[in-house]
Amino acid sequence: MNIVTVTINDVDYNLKGEENDEYLRKVADYVDKKMKAIIQSNPRLSGTAAAVLTAINVVDDLFKCEASYKGLNEDIEVYKVKDKEYEEQIAALKELVAKVQGENQELLQMVNDNKVEENLKAKEAELTSLKQEVEKLKEELAKNKSDFEAYKAENKELKFQLQTARYKIIDLQNKLVENQINLVKVKKMNNPLINNEKGKK
């Protein structure tokens, strides 16, 4: 487990995690920027209030990332289905092309038949049309695969963002507990009853 010292809102913390130092620092930097932006927009906020608002913002980011992640996974499944359909269509068209080519060879052997030339031209036209359709489907398949790879890359980035958001929440929870403890200490110090008891002793 890695332990990294990070600074959030001018306070140093020891952040622990299985990820590498760079990742943990990136998480802390994200939280630091969020918290400072909230404090800057409302300087009167206490540390606890700022931490709570930062946690709310981070959780909001997390929910949005999860929604995007879910949507991307659904899109990827759709592209997988389309990809399979395109491959099946191409395979069927290849079989049809092979069949037409075989028939074309048979026509070439019918040199003495008066209809050979006419039939041959028709078959050649059909073969050309089928080849064009195959090429068109190949292009669509290539585009589909390209889109699929793009979604995979975006999905990977969303996973990173989700992991980052989870670490932000853990860090903010720790900060909230620390602020609550400090608040109790301050209240005890300012309590006249406690101070009077100490004075009598």
For the chain, domains (ranges, CATH) are 2-200 (1.10.287.1490)
pLDDT the model gives residue 124: 84
Top-confidence residue, 186 or 136:
136
Top-confidence residue, 197 or 169:
169
pLDDT the model gives residue 29: 92
Cross-strand pairs, 3: 16
Task: Specify which of 69-78, 105-114, 153-162 reaches the highest per-range mean pLDDT.
Answer: 69-78
Count CB atoms within 10 A of the CB of residue 112. 6
pLDDT the model gives residue 116: 61
Question: Whole-prediction pTM value?
Answer: 0.44
Burial of 179 (0-12, 13-18, 19+ CB in 10 A): middle
Burial 54-93 (b: 16+ CB within 10 A, else e): bbebbeebbeebeebbeebeeebeebeeebeebeeebeeb
Chain mean pLDDT for the chain: 83
pLDDT digits (tens, 9 = 90+) for 141-190: 888 888 888 878 887 888 888 888 788 888 777 887 888 888 878 777 77
Residue 9, CA distances (Å) to 21, 31, 53, 66 in order: 19, 9, 14, 27
pLDDT the model gives residue 108: 75
Q: CA-to-CA distance for 109 and 17, rounded, in angstroms?
A: 76
Cross-strand pairs, 16: 3
Cα 9 to the center of its chain, rounded Å: 28
pLDDT digits (tens, 9 = 90+) for 43-70: 888 888 888 888 888 888 888 988 888 8
